[in-house]
Amino acid sequence: MTEPLIFELSSPGRKGVELPECDVPETPLPKDLIRDDLLLPELSEVDVVRHFTRLSQLNYGIDISAYPLGSCTMKYNPKVNEDAARLPGFAYTHPLQGPEEAQGNLLLMFELQEWLKEIGGFAGVSLQPAAGAHGELAGIMMIHAYHHDRKDDRRIKILIPDSAHGTNPASTAMGGFQSVEIPSDDRGNIDLEALRRECDGTVAGLMLTNPNTLGLFDEHVREIIELVHGCGGLMYGDGANMNALLGVVRPGDLGFDILHYNLHKTFSTPHGGGGPGSGPVGVSERLKDFLPGPIVEAVDEGDENRPPKFDLIFPRKSIGRVKAFHGHFGVMVKAYTYLRMIGKDGLRAVADHAVLNANYLRVRIRDAYRVPYDRICMHEFVAEGAWEDAPGIRALDVAKRLMDYGYHPPTNYFPLIVHEALMIEPTETESKESLDAFADAMIKIAGEAHTDPDVLHGAPHITAFGRMDEVRAAKQLVLRYVPKEKNQI
């Protein structure tokens, strides 16, 4: 970047604010509270506005253009969610205020629990976990607690299909279980024969992402659940892909015992950049007592003259807290607002349009890109970003070139079972025009891969930085400004 940074623009005496005249007697600060070694930049208002506006433009978000990042459900986040989360009664509650002073907040949490129970078909919900992966860990801990409670401690294995999200085996390992990989068959379902071979008395459970990371609904989900229950295991559902199922299928009705929701995916709260998210867990009747607490309970239903009364309680055999205080309350307010806004019919429409949009894109680009599991998909699909007659071009090149066309790249190199994978999830909030524009860009890039491969190898061409060492960029973050010369500040 050539623009000077904010410290380099600093000029002694320059300022951006005029403080009002002091209308109280001046009192000197105690000496030990005064620091004169804080080197703060001195700038005018316009310098500061330009600095932060420029920084904001280096970023990419759903408010700029389509964000087809597979498995992440980057739908548009309605701004009314933000308004609701900033209502002073919500925003200024202190986490240490007791239930009697936070009845409104507890009502909101209670209703959200109830709606998530209804949406997923579950007997209980806890809003504690901070994200999807955290919900998985809570689920694994419940699986452990359930078997232990029955003095069934031989169960050491969690079965995980090879099309699962990477967090599944990670949560399994953190919970002290051994993960056993189950292969997929050639339609992208779990290989039932392989599953049958692993089902025995050492199975604690199976973690199933359905629709899976190929965007496919497992055609044998009932048999899978029967097999796992048949050998005494529990069924964990990774609910990050609930966008495809809302109002259509309830995992609890299928026989899942646990499912985590990603409020920051399915229920339209912003995500990326490390959070905050929210990953509530829903459970079937036999796991209700093990839910992480506290959860909100209506201790008095109320009537016309009396408002209902809520309290925070721990289920009888709770695995305990998994998060400080009550979880990420601001995220809950946003998800609650979204649900209130779209209602029951709106939820069903979300799933219908998410699935329609993904299938529309799949069919529009499948002559230009190989789609290895080319059957009706759910909310996303996986294409291959490589061609035999375009040697040297990889999925990464396609992804980077999409940035030049103004799009965030799709998820790539995941799931691992597809060679040079590009995982595309348009979500329901893109219009037909926007889907067509994206498909046109994809098709153009497939053409360039054959006619002008160097333009792909060099991409992106329009960003402040070109290709980065992505591992180093993620692992060695440089977050502090270091002046080039000492006297620059």
Ligand X SMILES: *Cc1c(COP(=O)(O)O)cnc(C)c1O
In the beta sheet, which residues pair with residue 124? 283
CB of 304 to ligand X, least distance (A): 41
Q: How deeply is 107 buried, as exposed, middle or buried, from its count of CB atoms within 10 A (0-12, 13-18, 19+)? A: middle
Cα 85–chain centre separation: 19
Residues 133-152 close enough to bind ligand X by CB under 6 A: 133
Given a contact cutoff of 8 angstroms between Cβ atoms, the answer to whether 80 and 341 are in contact is yes
Cis before 211? omega within 30: yes
Q: Which stretch binds ligand X (CB under 6 A): 40-48, 184-192, 194-202, 236-244?
A: 236-244
SS3 468: coil
Candidate residues 127, 140, 240, 242; the one interacting with ligand X per rule CB under 6 A: 240
Binding characters for ligand X, 48-77, by CB under 6 A (x = yes): -----------------------x------
Candidate residues 262, 284, 337, 429; the one interacting with ligand X per rule CB under 6 A: 262
Q: Any contact of residue 263 with ligand X (CB under 6 A)?
A: no
Candidate residues 161, 211, 277, 409; the one interacting with ligand X per rule CB under 6 A: 277
CB of 72 to ligand X, least distance (A): 6
CB nearer to ligand X: pick between 71 and 128:
71
Q: Any contact of residue 279 with ligand X (CB under 6 A)?
A: yes
CB of 112 to ligand X, least distance (A): 17
Q: Which stretch binds ligand X (CB under 6 A): 237-245, 350-358, 365-373, 443-451?
A: 237-245
SS3 74: coil
Supply the Cα-derived Rg of the chain in whole angstroms.
Answer: 26
Q: Any contact of residue 421 with ligand X (CB under 6 A)?
A: no
CB nearer to ligand X: pick between 418 and 449:
418
Q: Which stretch binds ligand X (CB under 6 A): 38-46, 126-134, 363-371, 439-447?
A: 126-134
DSSP string, 294-357: -EEEEEE---SSS--EEEEE--TT----SSSTTS-HHHHHHHHHHHHHHHHHHHHHHHHHHHHH
Q: Any contact of residue 412 with ligand X (CB under 6 A)?
A: no
Q: Any contact of residue 165 with ligand X (CB under 6 A)?
A: yes
Candidate residues 41, 68, 120, 132; the one interacting with ligand X per rule CB under 6 A: 132
CA distance 12 to 328: 42
* Shortest-Cβ-distance residue relative to ligand X: 132
CA distance 489 to 485: 8
CB of 476 to ligand X, least distance (A): 22
CA distance 333 to 222: 35
Where residue 176 falls (left for φ over 0; alpha for ψ -120 to 50; beta otherwise) is: left
Q: Any contact of residue 167 with ligand X (CB under 6 A)?
A: yes
Q: β-pairing, 411-412 with 421-424? A: antiparallel
CB of 77 to ligand X, least distance (A): 15
Interface ranges with ligand X (CB under 6 A): 71, 131-133, 165, 167, 209, 213, 238, 240-241, 262, 277, 279
